[in-house]
Amino acid sequence: MSIGKRIKKLRKTMGKNTKTFASFIGISQGSLSDIENDRTHPSCNTLISLSQKTDVCILWLLTGQNNNCICFKNSFSHIDDEFSEILLEITEKYISCDDNQKEKIKEQLKVIL
């Protein structure tokens, strides 16, 4: 999947139309359309803005690698801030584990829950 397609996927996941999303990340609607349709690549500033405003890491935007690096901070809005930070930290550490470690973590969570 191209950078443009990943950005389009992100926009749709967030439930935003092109006009709203373009404004949200600080570019024109036409520029967003060009990026999403692979007519041009986003600038470094646009990538940084996307990452900061959506809590998605630049690595995923650029390469599609580590799909799990999409952060979930905004998904925890109904949970208090302290617990949200703990969940984010757990998620980030889990992502860095190898497959064997991930399986062990899953097994432990099943016991706890």
In this prediction, residue 54 carries a pLDDT of 86
pLDDT at residue 80 in the model: 61
Domain shared by 56 and 81, yes or no: no
Is there a single domain that holds both residue 95 and residue 80?
Answer: yes
Same domain assignment for residues 32 and 16: yes
Residues 62 and 79 in one domain: no
Same domain, 29 and 58: yes
What sign has the CA pseudo-torsion 93, 98, 103, 104? negative
Residue 53 is encoded by which pair of tokens?
Answer: 């405003």
Residue 84: pLDDT band with limits 50, 70, 90: low
**pLDDT tens track for 21-53:** 999 999 999 999 999 999 999 888 888 888 888
Number of domains in the chain: 2
d(CA 95, CA 14): 22
Same domain, 62 and 78: no
User: Which of 62-66, 71-75, 96-100, 106-110 has the lowest average pLDDT?
Assistant: 71-75
Residue-number span of the structural domain to which 51 is assigned: 3-66
Q: Quick one: 77 and 35 in the same domain?
A: no
pLDDT confidence tier of residue 102, bands split at 50, 70 and 90: confident
16 and 34 both lie in a single domain: yes
Per the structure block, which two tokens stand in for 47?
């990538």
Considering the domain architecture, whether residues 35 and 90 belong to the same structural domain is answered as: no
pLDDT at 72 over 60: no
Give the model's pLDDT for residue 67: 58
Let me know whether 48 and 13 are in one domain: yes
Shared domain check, 53 and 86: no
Taking residues 59-82, report their average pLDDT.
Answer: 60
Same structural domain, 9 and 46? yes
Q: What is the pTM of this model?
A: 0.59
DSSP, collapsed to helix, strand or coil, labels residue 77 as coil
